[in-house]
Amino acid sequence: MRFALLVMLAATICAFPEPSAAKEVFRKRSLYRDILVYESGGQRCMKFGIHDAGRQSCISLSNPERLVFDYTRMLLGALYINPNPRRILVIGLGGGSVPGALQALLPAATIDCVEIDPAVAEVAAAFFSFQPARNTKLHFQDGRVFVKRAAQKQSKYDLIILDAFDHMYVPEHLLTKEFLGEVRTLLSADGVLAANTFSSSRLYDSESATYSSVFGRFFNLKSDNRVILATKGSLPTRESLGRNADAIEAQFRRLGTGRDSLLSMFSPDVKWPAGTRILTDQYSPANLLNGGRY
């Protein structure tokens, strides 16, 4: 199997430009990347690469519990499909916003969080107040390697979140049909996959076709980013989504989201041109197709 990127640069990324005026708080060159922490506009943010505009994670300095980015709120929309996952896998740590929110919402859940760069976890703890809960375990390794080994152990998860980015985009070996097939084997019967991607990308159609080839129909949530929500079986009805949303509305409100904003984003109607090429381990030119996105 050919991997054009052998190393997973695991973190979250949001498609917002960096504020022009920022106070640098911390800078470090890790084994894998430059990590910069800065403050601007009442937020503290992490980004990879000194000159790149993308921000991997941000918190509000006045209300750290409130989720800043739309994509983090959309990822948690997976709980409208399965509101009580017992075992959770998160690939990509960043500042810890997503696993931190899951720890608060689901204190009894067991969470495996995969991050290749130990320096990212150190920064998340020092500057973004992320601390693994008793039931949370950090794994410092490549996301695909973890998935393969988990499949060999026949592990099952009720919720899997794919949130792995480098400073540009999702590493291409985490975009392919083969990888998504491996992820699918880890889902329990009522498990949910939530994947963070871009809402505007030259890869958009190929990503859609690739996810469909593995999961069939999926929910497409779009804002500044695009979140794909997929299951092993048929998608739930609007009535089911609404009941689950009502049950956790009070908890979601504390995070700065809720059914009024999230439910309207759930769309199963995703279209792409006939003949769109599926991304595979032999064909996954992510850097070429995604170039010039901005």
Task: Report, as residue numbers or ranges, the catalytic residues.
Answer: 163
Structure tokens at 270: 């995703």
Residue 156 and residue 222: Cα distance in Å, rounded?
Answer: 28
What's the farthest any 2 CA atoms get from each other in the chain?
49
CA-to-CA distance for 137 and 111, rounded, in angstroms? 6
Q: What 3-state DSSP class applies to 246?
A: helix
Q: Any idea which residue has 């709980």 for tokens? A: 79
Secondary structure (H, E, C), 151-203:
HHCCCCEEEEEECCCCCCCCCHHHCCHHHHHHHHHHEEEEEEEEEEEECCCCC
CB 70 within 8 A of CB 142: no
Phi, psi (rounded to 5 degrees) for 143:
-60, -40
